[in-house]
Structure 1
Amino acid sequence: MVSSRQLILASGYFREQFDGPWKLKHQTNSRHVFQLPLKCTNSEAFMILIKILHGHSMNVPRKVTLRTLTDIALLVDTYKCLEAAESFADTWICALNSRLPKTYSEIAHMWTYIAYVFEKTHIFQMMTKLAVKSSKRRITSHLPIPPTVFLKVEKQREALILRVLEFTNRTVSRLEHVATSNNCVSAAIILGTLSVLLADLRLLGHKASQSFHYASFATISKALNQLNIEKTPSIRHRTKAISSCLEALERGIKGLQLCDVYEK
């Protein structure tokens, strides 16, 4: 049994339910009990939120698992009660903050959604930067993250891959010119090694106008930085140029701010 008064005060969703068309359709029975459909599969997360909405803060845990926090975020998003849960979310997020992922995975999806619901701009930007860097195609999620997030992440990812393509194409053309016009053995070695690697990554001959979904920037960067080239001075220079370009591109990854989600 829960208090409709407390739910109305804390939740925009329940306020609409009790005062809107639902109330007209569902009349109270003799004991004045409403039965509301609840959109929740995690009973632990739901009970935690109910305790928060009823002001039973002493019974609210100070630590939760990432999965439970994600489910609480889903409830907060659904029931429009950010203000009531925000301070508790700060505590939970702080306790889990050291476990933020370094690669994009289901865990990163969860953190993206948590940051979106609880308006944690720094974490949101970190996770979307990770998505730009580590994804190899447009991302989808079972969580109700706004589609505009994935559209804008994909736009940044495509722009990043295009920069890589432009750089590698220039490098190949330059090496071809040096190798043929100057009969430079070291340039030919670099060209051969680089061409094989680019072919493996499906970058060789790829047109900038075509979508690219064969490898992420992180995968491409790691492969190019591990070029196994004989260490002659001219080759060291070329290797350094590749590494410097990739580092600059990675530093330039912006990710998204929360305000970007609402921009048209």
Structure 2
Amino acid sequence: MQKQCFDLDPLGDVLLTLRCPNQLDLSWRSLIFAKPRKSAEGSDESESRPKSNAPTASVDEPNAHDETEDVQFLLSSRHLSLASPVFGTMLSGGWKESTVLIERPRKIARLENSYTTNSESQPRHQITATEWNTEAFLLLMNIIHGHHRKVPQKVDLETLAHFSILVDYYKCQEITEVFARIWIEKLAPSLPRSHCPPSMIWIFVSWVFSNASIFEKMTELALKGSQGPLETLCLPLPSVVLDAFEEKRTSSLQKMMHAVDEFRNGLLNSSIGCDLACTCMLLGALIKQSDRLIHGQHVQRSIKQVKLDFQGFETPAWGSLDSRGRATRHDCSIASQLMPAVDKVWYNLKGLKSDDYRVQKENEVPKV
């Protein structure tokens, strides 16, 4: 069976082989995701694969029936180099993913034989990549090679995520940002309202395409809803963002716990509470209910969960006798005394500003 092949440039001088395609799992039905392998060493010989009985795919759509068969793309080195400094470095011989082929693939040579009889002696490039999503890669190549009528007006969030991974890796934001902006605008009305795997995808997408507003909104959801360090799925967010996120999350948790400590100290020194009975009742109830949080078990709980824990602290009902000997209920409660300080931490907690963490220059190529 012939490999699936997409001719982005029928006279192209680059043959890119995508091995083990569609291996990056972004499904939010599971929280266990494979770590992406960005590339593999080039080879002059095709890797042997089990044959499949699935029908040969057309050149316009990826083959959905065979995700393990190598996929080949016939591309233009000039288009790739102009769009991506990473491809430019590969094609100049600086990366191990690329090799120069003297022998031309028969399909390409057949196209060129009508123009020259010496085509098979011309040097050509071969690039190898692994695990990328075929649909997203074809989408990127259509944009780079100017086949804009084949680019859809809208995509789903998972496709946008795979596309963003490619754009981030190959550093081709400039040529793709117009299409990405259109897709983001159409998906934006359905932004998540709580932290979840889709919101994590939005954090990465907004980071890649410099959408500061969405990045701040989604990181705020994550700061308040994450139960630990940010789960990145298999999305390559830079460590500077992850470190800043965790520092801000733990700092906000500590501020909430500090509010509890301040409340407790205020009850002990009687600066909070109406009288001795009031401070004793509130202090006893606070110690009993906050023991689990005070002893560090708040670390693996989200800020939202900790806030709800504090909000749910119960105050025992008690009263006193007035001058006429009638029983009256005491109005002081833990919530009325504690929650203003906790709410202040909650409402002051905002998302990260993406521009604060952009340390790489726009066209900087990752180190090999």
5 Å-filtered alignment, 1:74-93, equals 74-93=165-184
Match of 1:161 in 2: 253
Q: Which residue of structure 2 aligns with residue 240 of structure 1?
A: 336
Identify unmatched segments of 5+ residues in structure 2.
Answer: 1-73, 110-121, 319-328, 361-368
| Distance in structure 2 (CA, Å) of the matches to 1:11 and 1:29 | 26
Change (3 A) 1:234 1:175: farther
Between Structure 1 and Structure 2, whose CA radius of gyration is higher? 2
User: Which residue of 1 is the match for residue 221 of structure 2?
Assistant: 130
Paired residue total: 256
Q: Does 1:105 find its partner at 2:196?
A: yes
Query: Is the Cα contact below 8 Å between 2:99 and 2:127 reproduced in 1?
Result: no
Tell which deviates more after alignment, 252-261 or 145-154: 252-261
Q: Distance in 1 between matches of 2:346 and 2:274?
A: 33
1:46 and 2:121 correspond = no
Query: Which residue in 2 is equivalent to 1:57?
Result: 148
* Alignment correspondent of 1:191: 283
CA distance in 1, matches of 2:311, 2:102: 69
Q: 1:5 — aligned with what?
A: 78
Question: SS where residue 6 of structure 1 aligns?
Answer: helix
Matched, 1:19 2:116: no
Q: How does 1:219-230 map to 2 (within 5 A)?
A: 219-229=305-315, 230=317
- RMSD value, Cα: 2.9
Secondary structure of 1:35 counterpart: strand
Q: CA shift at 1:263, angstroms?
A: 5.7
The answer on whether the counterparts of 1:8 and 1:14 sit within 8 Å (CA) in structure 2 is: yes
What is the deviation of 1:25?
A: 4.6
**TM-score between both structures, scaled by the size of structure 2:** 0.62
Q: Identify, as 1 or 2, the structure richer in strand.
A: 2
d(CA) in 1 for partners of 2:287, 2:227:
21
What SS does structure 1 have at the residue aligned with 2:126?
A: coil
Aligned equivalents of 1:39, 1:85: Cα separation in 2: 21
Bigger helix share: 1
Instruction: Name the aligned partner's letter for residue 183 of structure 1.
Output: L
Q: SS in structure 2 opposite 1:38?
A: strand
Is 1:255–2:255 an aligned residue pair? no
Q: Structure 1 vs Structure 2: percent identity of aligned residues?
A: 28
Which shows bigger deviation, 31-40 or 6-15? 31-40
Q: Is the Cα contact below 8 Å between 2:298 and 2:306 reproduced in 1?
A: no
Query: How far apart are the structure 2 equivalents of 1:144 and 1:125?
Result: 18
The CA deviation at 1:36 is: 1.2
